Structure 1
Amino acid sequence: MKRLIEKGLMFGNLVEVTSPALVERYNRALESLTGKRTKLVDFHIDISGYSPEVGDELGDHLYLNQGGCNRQFILLTTEQKTAPLLNAQFSTSRGILRQFIEDNQPQLFALTARDAVAGELLNSVYDVSEPAKLFDIRQIAIEADTTKAHVAGAKKLTKLIERFRREDEAWWDDLLIAEMIGLAKKTGDVTRQPIRLKSVTFRQDNFWTKHFGGLYVFRAVEHPAAIAAGKKAELGKLPIDYVFSFEDRNQIARFLEINELVEPIVKAPGINAAAILQQKMDFIIVAVASEKGEDLNRASRRDLRALARAYSKDLPEEFHGLAALQRWAEGGGKWPRINSAHPAYFYTLRAKPHADRDLVNRLLADLSPLDVRQLFICHKEKFYSAYADWSDAKKTYVANFLETEYQVDKAGAREALFGTDATMEEEQPTVDVVDLVGPWGAVMKERR
């Protein structure tokens, strides 16, 4: 993991906290939320205010996310909006936090200039001890205030001002005036500079959760389903008609097709499909060659071709299927019949442009783990978990590739792979990784 951290591929873009004033603000917020304090004089925080160093100190990396259900957060600066979200339990959490900060940026900028803002992502579920409880989560609301209750004080002062203006006898109410003056000393002039955070509710219809081995929930599609990375039998009865596991390849392929969520890479507009397929093949060669003990430190494309010839009998079906598709894409081969039963099938797809593009690309990365670039971009939790078990040769090759080919132009790489406006939120690993250092049935597709 040290190699990834040094190259900025892990724990990148965290916000550094070194000022004694900010450390004290953080401690006030931390104590108000958890009853705990840190003795550290400097540390780093993510978009939610979670710090890996503080987690190590407390011996609890879920100190702001007990039960992994209602995430708490600490804002010291609006600059946190560009930071990653560590140990994410839901795919929607970072986007919700970022939108909250952006929607309230002027107010949060003013508030964090004098105090920390502490809050919580609230839903109606207080624990997810059973898989079925995940389906009770429908919307997320945010509750936030400073440790000195500036927002609540401003709200109360605003009501008192309205009362003062409305009641004729208010001029002679010494208690009312004294209370207004006391609140104004803390909040400032709320008539000129209102302190009000927008109350926004976020829908959570389609999402991924780390709970129960990884589960994808698609409710806001024409044909809803849940897809489990683990064993679906262990999930029990779920309040959704169709539940698949990764072994149900045909059903998952059908689900993606009838909901019009994916498109073949070779038919996607504006991309170099042959180059993308070649890179996927290269990663498969690297996986096989590294197991054979080959040194891949400075391996070029020519070297990889030589390794492919040397180990052609050891290359899996994923490689041969992608090679056949690449020959067709370059105009020199027959159209290969690669159906959902073929191991290469999900490697040949990408999400169509729609609101859940990132979620679908995450699912496809989960289903095509040998494509380590897509795995790193779309599903960092699984990438870091897989990385820990690789040979040193493969770790070196992949880390160098991501540093030189992806880090230098993240936006360009994502657009080339996934299309225009492909956001692919820059999420980061779960901390536990760092501790290592019913049948689908016949459903007719409706054509619009």
Structure 2
Amino acid sequence: MKRLITAGLMFGNLVEITSPALIERYNRALRHLTGKTTQLQDFHIDISGFSPEIGEELNDDRYLNPNGANRQFILLTTAQKAAPLLNSQFSTSRGILRQFIDQNEAQLFALTARDAVAGELQGSVFGVDKPAQLFDIRKIVVQADTIGGHVRDAEKLAALIERFRKEPDGWRDDLLMAEMITLAKVTGDITRVPISLPEMAFEQGNFWTSHFGGLYIFRNVAVPGVICNRPESELGPMPISPVMDFAQRNEIAAWLERNELVEPIVNARGMDAAAVLRQKMDFIVVEAAEALALDLGGATRQDLRKIATRLGPALPDEFKGLAALLAWVERAGEWPMISSEHPAYFYTLRSRAHPDRDLVNMLLAELAPLDVRQLFITHKQRFYEAYAGWSDRKRQFVVDFLAREYQVDKQGARAALFGPEPGMDANDRPPPKPAVDLGRLVGPWGAIR
């Protein structure tokens, strides 16, 4: 993993903590939440305050998320909002933390200037022992305060001020005035600089979770469903259906089409489909060369074309299907009939523009895992798992490519692949299509016989 870290492809954008004052605040918060402290004199933290160095020191990568359901967080600075979320167990967690910081940035800036802010993403369950329990998580509540309780004290002081104003003889109440002065020494003048961190709630609609091998739960769509990495028979009873695993390609394809969640990249507005198809084909060639232990070195696109020529009939079906589609795009071939049973099928799709765009692209990355660029962008956890099993040859090639083609313009690359950022309004979702006949196979341009 050192190669990824050096290239900025792992643990990138973490916030460095070196100030003794910030380290002392972090330890106070860490002791408050977990009863533990760190002896490190410098470390890095993500948006939730989790530090990979402290995780290694404590031999516990879940020290801020012990039950796997209610993530705790430590904020030392509002700069954490730009950091990633490591070891995420729910796809919604980072977005919730980012919105919480954005909507309370002025208050958090003032509070973190004097103390660490600690809190928790509270769901309605305290652990996830069975897959069906995931459906009990419908709302995430964010609760936070400084370790010194500045928000709590400010609320108490506000109540005392209101009482002082309403009681005719309040100015004669020495105990009341003494308590107000004591609290004001901690909170400051809240009449001029109010302190408030309101409890915020976020709906947990459609999401991915790492529990039980990885589950995609879609509740807020026309036809709800669950898609899982493991065989669906291992999940037990579930409150909604269908429940599909990755081996059920036809069912997944029909379900995606029924809910209008995806579109063919060859029809996507503003996309250079030919360039995207060529890049996907390059990554498939890399995988084929890896299987034959061919030396990639610093292979260019021209070198990969030569390797593809050498492989000939040994090229995977994914490559052949995309090559046929590329020929059609460049008006050099007939329209290929790529059904949902074809290995290339999910490589030909991207999410439509709707609030769950990133979640659907994350799912497609798992269904088309040889496209390591999309896997890295949309599902880093799966990317790192795959990376651990690659040879040194493939690791070097992929790292060089991502550093050269993605790191230099992340926003541009994402826009080119997935389109502009969609709106967050659920009403942006298109109306459902009529039911799809599962007896037919589904192609990237719709259902075909």
TM-score range, shorter chain: over 0.9
Query: Counterparts in 2 of 1:177-192, with a 5 A limit?
Result: 177-192=177-192
Deviations 1:302-351 (A, max 9, x none): 11111001012221111100000000011111000001111100000000
Show structure 2 runs of 5+ residues with no match: 424-433, 438-449
Query: Counterparts in 2 of 1:45-60, with a 5 A limit?
Result: 45-60=45-60
Superposition deviation, residue 4 in structure 1: 0.5
| Matched pairs, number | 427
Query: Counterparts in 2 of 1:65-214, with a 5 A limit?
Result: 65-214=65-214
CA RMSD in angstroms comes to 1.2
Report if aligned partners of 1:358, 1:422 keep a CA contact under 8 Å in 2.
Answer: no
Deviations 1:386-429 (A, max 9, x none): 01111111111110000000000000000000001279xxxxxx
Superposition deviation, residue 262 in structure 1: 0.3
Distance 1:66 1:221 in 2: 31
Q: Secondary structure at the match of 2:385?
A: helix
Q: Secondary structure at the match of 1:340?
A: coil
Shift in alpha-carbon separation, 1:220–1:179, aligned structure 2, 3 A? same
Partner of 1:62: 62
Q: Secondary structure at the match of 2:142?
A: strand
Superposition deviation, residue 185 in structure 1: 0.2
Runs of 4+ in structure 1 displaced over 2 angstroms?
Answer: 290-295, 442-445
| Paired amino acid for 1:51 | S
TM-score (norm 2): 0.94
Q: Say whether 1:443 aligns with 2:435.
A: yes
Superposition deviation, residue 231 in structure 1: 1.5
Report if aligned partners of 1:297, 1:393 keep a CA contact under 8 Å in 2.
Answer: yes
Query: Counterparts in 2 of 1:169-318, with a 5 A limit?
Result: 169-318=169-318
| Paired amino acid for 1:318 | E
Deviations 1:211-246 (A, max 9, x none): 000000000000000000112111100111210000
Distance 2:105 2:254 in 1: 43
Distance 1:403 1:367 in 2: 24
Report if aligned partners of 1:414, 1:422 keep a CA contact under 8 Å in 2.
Answer: no
Deviations 1:33-57 (A, max 9, x none): 1111111111110000000111111
Q: Secondary structure at the match of 2:169?
A: helix
TM-score (norm 1): 0.94
Report if aligned partners of 1:277, 1:326 keep a CA contact under 8 Å in 2.
Answer: yes
Partner of 1:322: 322
Superposition deviation, residue 444 in structure 1: 4.6
| Paired amino acid for 2:136 | D
Show structure 1 runs of 5+ residues with no match: 424-441
Distance 1:263 1:300 in 2: 30
Partner of 2:16: 16
Distance 2:236 2:421 in 1: 38
Superposition deviation, residue 291 in structure 1: 2.7
Q: Secondary structure at the match of 2:207?
A: strand
Q: Secondary structure at the match of 1:260?
A: coil
| Paired amino acid for 1:368 | A
Report if aligned partners of 1:283, 1:370 keep a CA contact under 8 Å in 2.
Answer: yes
Partner of 1:337: 337
Distance 1:272 1:85 in 2: 31
Partner of 2:3: 3
